[in-house]
Amino acid sequence: MNRKAKLLTLVLTLVLSVPVIAQARDLPVFTELAAKAGKAVVFISTEKTAQAPSMEQFRQQVPEGHPFHEFFKRFDQFFGPQGQQPRKMLGQGSGFVISPDGLIVTNNHVINGADKVTVRFQDDKKEYPAEVVGADQETDLAVIKIKADHTLSTLKFGDSDKLQVGEWVLAIGNPFGLDNTVTAGIISAKHRIIGAGPFDNFLQTDASINPGNSGGPLLDMDGEVIGINTAINAAAENIGFAIPSTQAAKVIALLKEGKAPQRGWLGVTIQQVSETQAKALGLAEPVGALVASVGKGAPADKGGVKQGDVILEVNGQKIEDNNDLLKKIAGLAPGEKADLVLWRNGEKVTRTVTLGQRNEKALAAMAPNQQDQGPAAATVLGMALKPLTDQEAQALGLDKTQGLLVVNVDPNTPAGEEGIRQGDVILQANQKDVNSVADLNDVIKSAEKRGAVMLLVKRQGRNSFVALPLDNK
């Protein structure tokens, strides 16, 4: 290669390298942020006393006639009856300091039930005993406090509402006990509902979060806490969830004062409105929250809300689904009035409800009552079944109240393998109507010699036959 060609090759190499170098320079550097914020992140360890399972508990799980019964008998002869022995259970998590006087934010599940809570800072082997100032199980938040012998670095909450998907974030915590671990990623999604609690509204991030990160901060590039790392998807890689700071800050402000959050309560059980139910109810689209039951004497009952109503609006705000209703009602204060727009019998009606207070006692009062709700679900051939109520039959588009509603299905049974799903309605078994679990069991008993039973199943307005073997019932 001559000199001119070599010079041209060098120039091209430099030109092509410029975008790569520029791109590398555009990537964020987390060193300063990690060093500064890490001083306010703590390692939390807990101890609690739990009762170990007794030998009698194991004995009760062994069926009659099992050879292990003889083992338990001989064991008692040699060693005497064995009672429950308490044992210590150790736990760990993360947290971060929010005030110079030693207030620390963490998750409720990190410290819940602990007899002893201790805190340790990075690069400091000294352990500080901590007391629980306040905790809220429904949002999984807690505040603890220590008395430190040095000046404490603190972190402050940012505005998670302003976050955009794709922004860089930094997580600091103690995954698997590895102190002061820093991981970086982006905001993958907002407003995630993962079934962790009634007020799910998580930020999703691909910054690595693992057991032990719980309670630690998720930071933006300005070093402000925009989330509290709380949950992971154990079946996935680098999918973590954090409580948004705007939601957490309101609860923390109460907890650090030793106050419990006050949330509004309607006194209804609700469910999602499916497309099929929307059609059956005459709704243009599947929106709102379907009232499955109304507690006797509850605020909704006093305000004129009825089973089968669909709540479409609260104080002029549209209700997208049942989770949206929970959040909007809980965001109102007990004693406050809620103006509801309901869908009832094909038209809109309005009702005003004076809200009660959401607490354990109120929620317990709404627990299913067998006398009020009809027969409880019973399991047959791997299916949890119950007779339909009039409201369920109407919502499912049935001409009359008949059949058995499939409440749940064990996927490892023939029913699950043959494709029967939650929400299906079993109308017949071997061409005989079944309106109770007893009816179905009678048909199954008479069909045992055949070794199979043919079910007529209705799903989304369509009927189909499904045959189930009886040898694995």
Better pLDDT: 377 or 256:
256
CA–CA gap between residue 265 and residue 154 (Å, rounded): 35
Containing domain of residue 402, as a range?
374-469
CB under 8 Å to 258, separation ≥6 — which residues? 133, 134
358 and 268 both lie in a single domain: yes
Check 45, 94, 136, 140 and give the catalytic one. Answer: 140
The answer on pLDDT for 373 being more than 50 is no
Residue 124 appears among annotated catalytic residues? no
Residue 109 appears among annotated catalytic residues? yes
Check 214, 220, 424, 439 and give the catalytic one. Answer: 214
Task: Give the residue-averaged pLDDT of 78-93.
Answer: 69
Better pLDDT: 8 or 135:
135
Tell whether 134 is covered by a domain: no
Tell whether 256 is covered by a domain: no
- Domain end among 213, 244, 275: 244
Global confidence as pTM: 0.67
Tell whether 326 is covered by a domain: yes
Quick count: other Cβ atoms within 10 Å of Cβ 384? 18
Residue 140 appears among annotated catalytic residues? yes
We report the CATH number of the domain holding residue 225 as 2.40.10.10
404 and 422 both lie in a single domain: yes
Q: Is 154 annotated as a binding residue?
A: no
Strands (DSSP E) along 137-180, which ranges? Answer: 141-145, 168-173
Domain count, the chain: 3
pLDDT digits (tens, 9 = 90+) for 101-122: 999 999 999 999 899 999 999 8
CA–CA gap between residue 155 and residue 347 (Å, rounded): 51
Q: Is 345 annotated as a binding residue?
A: no
Residue 463: its pLDDT value, please?
78
Q: Is 234 annotated as a binding residue?
A: yes
Q: Is 392 annotated as a binding residue?
A: no
Residue 74: its pLDDT value, please?
58
Task: Give the residue-averaged pLDDT of 284-302.
Answer: 90
The answer on pLDDT for 69 being more than 70 is no
pLDDT digits (tens, 9 = 90+) for 160-171: 999 999 999 999
CA–CA gap between residue 1 and residue 123 (Å, rounded): 58
Q: Which of 84-88, 246-250, 292-296 has the least mean pLDDT?
A: 84-88
Helices marked H in 107-190 — which ranges? 108-111
We report the CATH number of the domain holding residue 294 as 2.30.42.10
Q: Is 159 annotated as a binding residue?
A: no
Tell whether 126 is covered by a domain: no
Q: Is 40 annotated as a binding residue?
A: no
- Domain end among 244, 277, 302: 244
Tell whether 215 is covered by a domain: yes
Using pLDDT thresholds of 50, 70 and 90, give the confidence band for residue 73: low
Tell whether 140 is covered by a domain: no
Q: Is 467 annotated as a binding residue?
A: no
Burial of 426 (0-12, 13-18, 19+ CB in 10 A): buried
